[in-house]
Homo-oligomer: A and B are copies of this chain.
Amino acid sequence: MQLMEMFGTSGGFTSKKIYEGYQILKEEFTSDETTFLSFPADIISTGTRGIINQLVKNKLVDVIITTNGTLDHDIARVYTDYYAGTFNFGDEKLKDMNINRLGNVFVPDESYGVIIEEKLMPMIEELYSKKKEWAPVDLIREVGLKLNNENSILYNAAKNGIPVFVPGITDGSFGSQLWSFYEMHHDFRINLLEDEHRLSDIVFDAKKTGALMIGGGISKHHTIWWNQFRDGLNEAVYITTAQEYDGSLSGAKLEEAITWKKVRKDAKFVNIYGDATAILPIMVAPFL
């Protein structure tokens, strides 16, 4: 791809790093190493959902770790639309119009909570009728299959045997449906520790591991946390907007992760700063 070549030869602060990231991903995507993909929920409300969906469809990644909001947006967008808005439309006005703002994405009430409840509840009902206790990773797979939609990350992940882990499973609309169901059926159970068991199997079985981590927070940490049990990732690309000075996990560079044995000393890795909705499409375009 032309742009990538230019980035490779011409140097630059972030442009050079995007090229480095692309080189590392080439190894992650083509070798037999187990590749983790982690990302925050916000980007799934945008066109970047399509990019991630293609990574999943093409089986370029092996494990997904993300947050509840990813489930929400992926499900909602199977059935409804979000709209292109702006960052500075009056928020009180939007509230009165029953439109929720997510950055510059406008999400009508009926495209989020309402539709998620309407579609998810019957699915949970049916799954509960089979088994009263579910590991989140299994529940998500079943929901993915039921979505039965080519644009859905959950659907393609399920079809391709890519497990989707959400360690903070209760934090969002998907989680609220689970809670709501629990209020009505007090023997319904989510077995979060079983997800950890599955992750341990993946991590201990892997020959080598690599990661494409988009954004910080719980999804990044859970990815590097588990890789620490195998002395660290062999390769890692981290795209983030977070900075180091505040001591946050999100802002921590992969260099810091070396001290925790979450990334290997001899690993190939790069920290790329900027909004993933612009950087990710450029960096993975050559693979799609």
> A residues bordering B, Cβ < 8 Å?
3, 6-7, 9-18, 40-43, 45-48, 50, 67, 69, 82, 84, 87-88, 91-92, 94-95, 99-105, 167-172, 175-176, 178-179, 182-183, 188-197, 200, 215-218, 221-222, 225, 241-252, 255-256, 258-261, 265, 273-279, 281-282, 285
Contact = CB atoms under 8 A, between A and B. Distances in A.
Contacts of A276: 246
Contact of A171 (B18, B225, B252, B255): B225
Contact of A3 (B3, B43, B255): B3
29 contacts: A6-B281, A11-B46, A11-B47, A11-B82, A12-B277, A13-B42, A14-B245, A14-B275, A14-B278, A15-B48, A15-B275, A15-B278, A40-B248, A92-B265, A95-B258, A95-B261, A99-B259, A100-B259, A105-B247, A169-B192, A170-B196, A176-B225, A179-B193, A179-B197, A192-B192, A215-B248, A243-B273, A274-B278, A282-B282
Contact of A170 (B94, B105, B167, B217): B167
Interface centre among A45, A103, A179, A188 (most CB of B within 10 A): A103
Contacts of A215: 248
B278 A282 contact: yes
B193 A189 contact: yes
Given A95-B261, A169-B192, A279 B278 contact: yes
Interface centre among A48, A193, A216, A279 (most CB of B within 10 A): A193
Nearest to A84: B11
